[in-house]
């Protein structure tokens, strides 16, 4: 990609081009942060109105039956299944990614007999490590161990109950070999819990093809479910009857409306639900997922890889002072690309000020995300143009760009 004209030609030839029109992107903004918070689908406000005004306002309590609120977690989970190579009855929407990590970590540790170690990698997304810490502390006699991902398989000993890994790394964008790691871990008697937050809707995932055990993922990134959208979890069918959720709330009960004193988990994936499902949030997530209707997923993922490749090439040519953190090879990378710079924070702020929204990850990383449903090649070209200009004129080095926000 050597020019804006060429970028525009790629966009014109993009079979997914029309999908961009489904999103309400602000004028004058190039949004390269759909990996953190997906853009607003144009149809979501209408859906929220319908849920609020008709289902809640008019239907009131009756909508638990008449609008299938009671089945919302299973229904929307089933819609996520095709994105991750799962069967519809293996996925449920519930709670947050963090809470779902906790459920499956404790379920796994408890099911693994004497094995008492949760193994992960340092630098994993913080909440994964924090929840592992909380799970081990809750159980009491469990512990968390971290080793570099290259050493993960070697580090699986007889005490490792579950290996917790993020499929696409939130910072580097590096994508792990799910099939190989899963097989190697299982051969050593460990379960594997995959965090798909930066994968689902962005890269191919084939959980059942990898004989995966457990997974969780986020609803508000590439799935466009809105800020703090409900998350999902996957439990392979073969594990469902055995694993018990520590968060054994009434919505995971076999018969919640019998109001019995004794907990008896549902016989299916629904047992991993906890409290009353968040209907507004699940509706927005369902609408976010609906934006993929009609998408050829192979073309979608290919476009994500092409955008990442083009980004790396352009940055290498025009912004060589930004050090590539992500894998060069698109086959080992998610749909975002990261660069290191000692002043990445200020540079990111200056970019946002000029309408190019990427994000900063401490201590020194600028992330550029390519949600292939609505980001085009001309967007990328213009973003690199703005960044090139910034770096050339040094205008990022102003005091207000160095001042930290609460969320950075």
The one among 150, 257, 399, 400 contacting a copy of itself by CB under 8 A: 257
Sequence-ordered alpha helix ranges (H) in 14-113? 44-49, 63-66, 72-80, 97-111
Crossing angle between the packed helical segments 377-393 and 344-353, to the nearest 10 degrees: 120
Residues 353-382 that bind a copy of itself (CB under 8 A): 357, 359, 361-362
DSSP code, position 175: B
Stretch in the footprint of a copy of itself (CB under 8 A) among 4-12, 62-70, 199-207, 375-383: 62-70
Residue listed under structure tokens 């499929």: 167
Q: For this structure, is 221 an active site residue?
A: yes
Please, which residue, 272 or 306, has the CB nearer to a copy of itself?
A: 272
28 vs 311: CA distance, rounded Å: 20
Q: Which residues contact 240 (CB under 8 A, 6 or more apart)?
A: 90, 267, 268, 269, 271
**CB of residue 308 to a copy of itself, shortest distance in Å:** 19
Q: Is 283 exposed, middle or buried (0-12, 13-18, 19+ CB in 10 A)?
A: buried
11 lies in the site for a copy of itself, by CB under 8 A: no
**CB of residue 60 to a copy of itself, shortest distance in Å:** 6
**Backbone φ and ψ of 160, nearest 5°:** -80, 115
Residues 117-136 that bind a copy of itself (CB under 8 A): 122-127, 129-131, 133-135
The one among 222, 232, 234, 251 contacting a copy of itself by CB under 8 A: 251
Residue 381 has which token pair? 């070209």
User: How far is Cα of residue 235 from the mean position of the Cα atoms in its chain?
Assistant: 17
Please, which residue, 127 or 335, has the CB nearer to a copy of itself?
A: 127
Q: For this structure, is 263 an active site residue?
A: no
**345-363 core/surface letters (b: 16 or more CB in 10 A; e: else):** bbbbbbbbebebbbbbbee
Binding mask 160-189 for a copy of itself (x = CB under 8 A): -----------x------------------
159 lies in the site for a copy of itself, by CB under 8 A: no
Phi-psi region of 98 (alpha: psi -120 to 50; beta: other; left: phi over 0): alpha
Residues 366 and 338 sit within 8 Å (Cβ to Cβ): yes
R_g over Cα of the chain: 22
Nearest Cα to Cα of residue 95 among 59, 52, 127, 141: 127
Please, which residue, 298 or 407, has the CB nearer to a copy of itself?
A: 407
| Marked catalytic residue, from 221, 271, 303, 305 | 221
Residues 214-233 that bind a copy of itself (CB under 8 A): 220, 226-231
Residues 14-33 that bind a copy of itself (CB under 8 A): 24, 26, 29, 31, 33
| Marked catalytic residue, from 367, 370, 377, 379 | 367
The one among 186, 211, 250, 254 contacting a copy of itself by CB under 8 A: 250
Residues 167 and 335 sit within 8 Å (Cβ to Cβ): no
114 lies in the site for a copy of itself, by CB under 8 A: no
Query: Can the peptide bond before residue 283 be classed as cis, meaning omega within 30 degrees of 0?
Result: no
The one among 155, 280, 302, 324 contacting a copy of itself by CB under 8 A: 280
Stretch in the footprint of a copy of itself (CB under 8 A) among 74-82, 154-162, 203-211, 245-253: 245-253
Q: Is the dihedral of CA 7, 44, 335, 320 positive or negative?
A: positive
Three-class DSSP category at 279: helix
Binding mask 286-325 for a copy of itself (x = CB under 8 A): ----------------------------------------
The one among 246, 268, 324, 388 contacting a copy of itself by CB under 8 A: 246
Residues 75-104 that bind a copy of itself (CB under 8 A): 95-99, 102
Q: For this structure, is 292 an active site residue?
A: no
284 lies in the site for a copy of itself, by CB under 8 A: yes
Please, which residue, 106 or 215, has the CB nearer to a copy of itself?
A: 106
Residues 375 and 32 sit within 8 Å (Cβ to Cβ): yes
155 lies in the site for a copy of itself, by CB under 8 A: no
**CB of residue 164 to a copy of itself, shortest distance in Å:** 13
Please give the positions annotated as active site. Answer: 125, 195, 220-221, 367
């Amino acid at each position: 990609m050597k020019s804006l004209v060429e970028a525009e030609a790629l966009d014109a030839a993009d079979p997914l081009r029309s999908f961009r029109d489904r999103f309400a992107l602000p004028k004058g903004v190039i949004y390269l942060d759909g990996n953190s918070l997906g853009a607003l689908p144009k149809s979501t406000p209408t859906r929220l109105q319908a849920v609020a005004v008709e289902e809640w306002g008019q239907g009131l309590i009756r909508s638990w039956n008449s609008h299938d609120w009671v089945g919302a977690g299973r229904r929307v989970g089933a819609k996520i299944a095709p994105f991750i190579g799962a069967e519809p009855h293996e996925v449920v929407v519930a709670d947050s990614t963090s809470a779902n990590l906790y459920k499956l970590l404790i379920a796994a540790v408890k099911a693994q007999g004497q094995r008492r170690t949760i193994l992960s990698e340092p630098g994993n997304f913080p909440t994964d490590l924090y929840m592992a810490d909380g799970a081990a502390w809750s159980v009491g006699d469990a512990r968390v161990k971290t080793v570099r991902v290259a050493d993960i398989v070697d580090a699986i000993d007889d005490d490792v109950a579950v290996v917790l890994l993020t499929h696409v790394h939130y910072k580097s964008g590096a994508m792990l070999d799910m099939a190989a790691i899963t097989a190697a871990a299982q051969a050593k008697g460990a379960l594997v819990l995959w965090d798909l937050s930066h994968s689902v809707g962005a890269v191919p995932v084939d959980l059942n093809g990898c004989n995966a055990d457990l997974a969780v993922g986020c609803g508000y990134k590439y799935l466009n479910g809105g800020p703090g959208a409900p998350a999902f979890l996957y439990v392979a069918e073969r594990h469902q009857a055995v694993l018990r959720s520590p968060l054994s709330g009434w919505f995971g009960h076999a018969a919640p409306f019998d109001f019995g004193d004794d907990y008896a988990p549902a016989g299916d994936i629904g047992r991993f639900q906890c409290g009353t499902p968040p209907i507004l949030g699940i509706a927005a997530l369902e609408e976010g997922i609906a934006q993929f209707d009609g998408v050829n997923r192979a073309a979608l993922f290919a476009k994500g890889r092409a955008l990442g490749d083009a980004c790396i090439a352009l940055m290498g040519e025009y912004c060589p002072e930004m050090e590539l953190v992500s894998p060069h090879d698109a086959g080992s990378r998610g749909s975002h690309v990261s660069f290191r710079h000692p002043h990445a924070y200020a540079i990111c702020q200056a970019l946002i000020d000029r309408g190019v929204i990427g994000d900063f990850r401490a201590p020194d990383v600028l992330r550029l995300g390519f949600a292939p449903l609505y980001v085009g090649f001309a967007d990328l070209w213009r973003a690199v143009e703005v960044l090139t200009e910034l770096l050339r004129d040094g205008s990022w080095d102003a005091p207000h760009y160095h001042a930290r926000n609460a969320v950075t």
